[in-house]
Chains A and B, each alone.
Chain A
Amino acid sequence: MDRATIDFWVGLFVVIGIGAVVFLALRVGNLTSLQRTPSYRLEAAFDNIGGLKLRAPVKAAGVVVGRVDRVRFDTKTYRAVVTMSVDQGYQFSKDTIASILTSGLLGEVYIGLDAGGDTQMLADGGMVTKTQSAVVLEKLIGQFLFDKAATLGEAKNENR
């Protein structure tokens, strides 16, 4: 085996090997979201964040505009304070509503931002004041059963 042949095959091997890593990065993994686009921070306080996790997406009208950076519990107000980094390219008005949503019944938990009509925009470190907590399914079912029992009770009373 002469030197040129070995060099050729090793070169080809290394090139397709690196190509495979690039494929894994771009096509299988989502490296594109890793690119550090300049972003600014927003905070929002929720009564209950449900199953929200770090790095969960922040979406506006279904488009991912940022990620959840930090979640902490405020012992003064007893609320969860979520810090999210939002792409610099997306500006949100001061009366934006942040709500914790779930994609599908069992899907991932994310933060939805609904822009309002205010002309003033939220700056870096700004606080989203209008928030809507996570809908906890167990509570919802409990409430439904309670309402159902109440209406049934009323119906019985009327029959009497």
Chain B
Amino acid sequence: MPADALTFVIRRIGRATQESVGRLGFATRFFALVLYHSPAAFMRLQLTFREIYFSGVLSLVIILVSGLFVGMVLGLQGYDALNKYGAGDSLGIFVGLSLVRELGPVVAGLLFASRAGSAVTAEIGLMKTTEQIAAMEMMAVDPLARIVAPRFWGGIISMPLLAALFSVLGVFGAYIVSVRLIGLDTGAFWGNMRAGIEFWPDVTNGIIKSIVFGIAVSLIAVFEGYVATPTAEGVSTATTRTVVESSLAILALDFLLTVFMFRGGA
């Protein structure tokens, strides 16, 4: 019967919509609860420090190496393209702007989501699977305050620092390639960079972006871990979802923020 098939399809759509709206609503309430329990994360700073160590300090190696190589490639490709129009001297602006405005926050955010976000999800998910979270609730310890809030804030604090380090290493990588290897003039590289990049709005907007990405990645990571199905399969699905959702969120938010920040370029 075609009518049955039609109602079936419509039912499926309706159910999917209900589920996603419900999930979004739950995520929003979860976000509010985490914010409500945040003072606890700052009352017991040691917990947050621990999370900054695990998500920030241990992500340093991959962030720094990636930044250096992205910068070196930007230097090579940018010089190649710009030099065709005799504008090789402008390499500093090109590298600096693309790193500070876009690549620093975005690539550092993507790496952070895969390196630290997935780990947080897996950790919370596994705690749930092994009933550690239930045990905490039994002992009247709020897992949102003890487990979730410190991880959430640890991510938010780490992210802008990692993005800034990524940009600096990128600029340094471009400097090595263009000045040391290709032989661009040092003064032209730094001078043009400083002339073309303003602290306000370029650098500050990059920092705002990285803070927003930090909030998004941390929230997705703790949320996915907290609502993970408490099985081995559930934890692995939650980890995958964290990486996919954070990456998509970063790209979508980046587009939105760029539209608002650099529209018209006045």
Chain A interface (Cβ < 8 Å from any Cβ of B)? 1, 3, 6-7, 9-10, 12-14, 16-18, 20-21, 23-25, 27-31, 33-34, 53-55
**Is there contact, CB below 8 Å, between A30 and B165?**
no
Is A24's CB under 8 angstroms from B195's CB? no
Residues in A with CB closer than 8 Å to B193 are 28
Interface contact A28-B49, CB-CB below 8 Å: no
In angstroms, how far is the closest chain B Cβ from the Cβ of A84? Answer: 17
User: Which of B53, B96, B162 makes the CB contact (< 8 A) with A10?
Assistant: B53
Report B1-39 residues with CB < 8 Å from chain A CB. Answer: none
Nearest Cβ distance between residue A66 and chain B, in whole angstroms?
16
Are A29 and B164 in contact, with the CB atoms below 8 A?
no
Q: Pick the contact of B50 from A6, A18, A31 — CB < 8 Å?
A: A6
Counting CB contacts under 8 A, is B167 at the interface?
yes
Question: Does B116 have its Cβ within 8 Å of any Cβ on chain A?
Answer: no
- Tell me whether B259 is interfacial, beta carbon within 8 Å: no
Q: Are A27 and B190 in contact (CB under 8 A)?
A: yes
Count, A-B residue pairs, CB within 8 A: 84
B97 CB → nearest A CB, Å: 9
Interface of A is mostly: helix
Q: Is there contact, CB below 8 Å, between A17 and B164?
A: yes
Q: Which residues of A contact B56 (CB under 8 A)?
A: 10, 13
Q: Bin chain B's interface residue count.
A: 20 to 34
Instruction: Give the 9 A-B CB pairs with smallest separation, nearest first.
Output: A17-B161, A20-B164, A29-B199, A31-B199, A20-B168, A29-B203, A30-B194, A29-B197, A20-B165
A28 touches B60 (CB 8 A): no
Given A10-B52, A17-B164: A28 and B96 interface contact (C-beta under 8 Å):
yes
How far is it, in angstroms, between the C-alpha of A9 and the C-alpha of B162 when the chains are bound? 14
Are B100 and A24 closer than 8 Å at their CB atoms?
yes
* Contact across chains for A30 and B195 when beta carbons are under 8 A apart: yes
Would A9 and B203 count as touching, CB distance under 8 A?
no
Q: Which of A10, A12, A18 has the largest number of chain B CB atoms within 10 A?
A: A10
A23-B168 contact given A30-B195, A34-B199, CB 8 Å threshold: yes
Whether the Cβ atoms of B194 and A27 lie closer than 8 Å is: yes
Residues of B within 8 A of A53 (CB): 266
Q: Which chain B positions have C-beta within 8 A of A14?
A: 52, 157, 161
With A28-B96, A28-B197, A34-B200: A16-B52 Cβ-Cβ less than 8 Å: no
Q: At the interface, yes or no: B46 with Cβ under 8 Å from chain A? A: yes
On whether the beta carbons of A3 and B46 are closer than 8 Å, the reply is yes
- Bound together, the chains give a CA A6 to CA B46 distance in angstroms of 9
Any A CB within 8 A of the CB of B137: no
Q: In angstroms, how far is the closest chain A Cβ from the Cβ of B74?
A: 14
Residues B53 and A9 in contact, CB atoms below 8 Å apart: yes
Are the C-beta atoms of B167 and A13 separated by less than 8 Å? no
- B199 lies within 8 A of A25 (CB): yes
B126: Cβ under 8 A from any A Cβ: no
Chain B residues near A6 (CB-CB < 8 A)? 49-50, 53
Q: Within the complex, what minimum Cβ distance (angstroms) separates A70 from chain B?
A: 13
Contact status A24-B162, CB under 8 Å:
no
Residues of A near B203 (CB, < 8 A) are: 21, 24-25, 28-29, 31
* Shortest CB distance A69–B (Å): 14
Q: Is B72 an interface residue (CB 8 A)?
A: no
Residues of chain A with a CB closer than 8 A to B96's CB: 28
Q: Which residue of B lies closest to A3 (CB)?
A: B46
CB of B245 within 8 Å of the partner chain: no
B46→A24 contact, CB < 8 A:
no
Tell which of A7, A20, A33, A54 touches B167, judged by Cβ atoms closer than 8 Å.
Answer: A20
Complex-state Cα separation, A9 to B60, whole angstroms: 11
Tell me whether B52 and A13 are in contact (CB under 8 A): yes
Which residue from chain A places its CB closest to the CB of B99 in the assembled complex?
A28
A31 cross-chain contacts in B, Cβ below 8 A: 199, 203
